[in-house]
């Protein structure tokens, strides 16, 4: 699969078969993650591979949008090591790039995956830290649910030319939110 095809055909997969993912495939995913671009080449990431069912099924107790983990073959938690960051805030970007690399590699390898957001929601970050006995300087950024797909979501064309500006901002400089922010209850 070429790069553009992988990017435009990748979809979030939340339903999986019960097939296990071989260790060598997991290593390929991790290598893809570690090949991500990194500001000043800091590479402040750590990865926690979770395959134990009893651990995976605990995540929904503190993360309401992670029920797919009950079926996943594994999950990879991408973490920022704040002790390796020379410039505060860049690690989140680096870990996000690593997450996208893993998602694309999973797709290319015939796996299904979905990015389960952890950062910046304190309850989710603290839940992962507690569940995995993580040191405080390690910041959980994203959890990637992975398995062999048991669904095939349709492809979408998400290109919106009205969101592209050349050379300078075109249109009204006073842009108001189109949809209201969700209120916390």
Number of structural domains found in the chain:
1
The pLDDT, as a whole number, for residue 178 is: 67
Is residue 180 situated within a structural domain? no
Beta strands in the chain (DSSP E): 45-50, 74-81, 112-117, 138-147
Q: What is the pLDDT of residues 162-178, one digit of tens each?
A: 999 999 888 777 777 76
Neighbours of 97 (CB within 10 A): 18
CA–CA gap between residue 27 and residue 22 (Å, rounded): 9
Is residue 127 situated within a structural domain? yes
Listed residue (78, 83, 60, 62) closest to 70, CA to CA: 60
Residues 6 or more apart whose Cβ sits within 8 Å of residue 131: 55, 58, 59, 62
Whether the Cβ atoms of residue 74 and residue 146 lie closer than 8 Å to each other: yes
The pLDDT, as a whole number, for residue 170 is: 80
The pLDDT, as a whole number, for residue 172 is: 74
The pLDDT, as a whole number, for residue 171 is: 74
* pTM reported for the whole predicted model: 0.91
Task: Mark the ranges of the chain whose per-residue pLDDT is less than 70.
Answer: 178-185
Is residue 39 situated within a structural domain? yes
The pLDDT, as a whole number, for residue 185 is: 44
CATH code for position 71: 3.40.109.10
Is residue 107 situated within a structural domain? yes
Is residue 105 situated within a structural domain? yes
Is residue 161 situated within a structural domain? no
Is residue 28 situated within a structural domain? yes
Is residue 24 situated within a structural domain? yes
Local structure of 185: helix, strand or coil: coil
Full domain range(s) for residue 70: 3-151
């Amino acid at each position: 699969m070429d790069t553009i095809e992988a990017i435009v055909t990748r979809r979030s997969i939340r339903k999986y078969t019960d097939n296990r993912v071989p260790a060598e495939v997991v290593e390929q995913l991790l290598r893809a993650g570690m090949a991500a671009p990194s500001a000043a080449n800091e590479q402040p990431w750590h990865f926690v591979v979770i395959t134990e069912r009893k651990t995976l099924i605990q995540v929904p107790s503190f993360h309401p949008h992670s029920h797919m983990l009950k079926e996943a073959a594994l999950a990879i938690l991408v973490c920022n090591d704040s002790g390796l960051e020379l410039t505060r805030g860049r690690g989140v970007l680096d870990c996000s790039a690593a997450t996208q690399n893993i998602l694309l590699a999973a797709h290319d390898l015939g796996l299904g995956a979905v990015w389960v957001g952890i950062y910046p929601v304190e309850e989710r970050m603290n839940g992962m830290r507690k569940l995995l006995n993580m040191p405080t300087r390690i910041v959980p950024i994203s959890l990637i649910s992975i398995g062999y797909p048991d669904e095939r979501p349709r492809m979408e064309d998400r290109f919106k030319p009205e969101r592209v500006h050349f050379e300078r901002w075109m249109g009204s400089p006073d842009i108001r939110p189109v949809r209201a922010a969700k209120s916390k209850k």
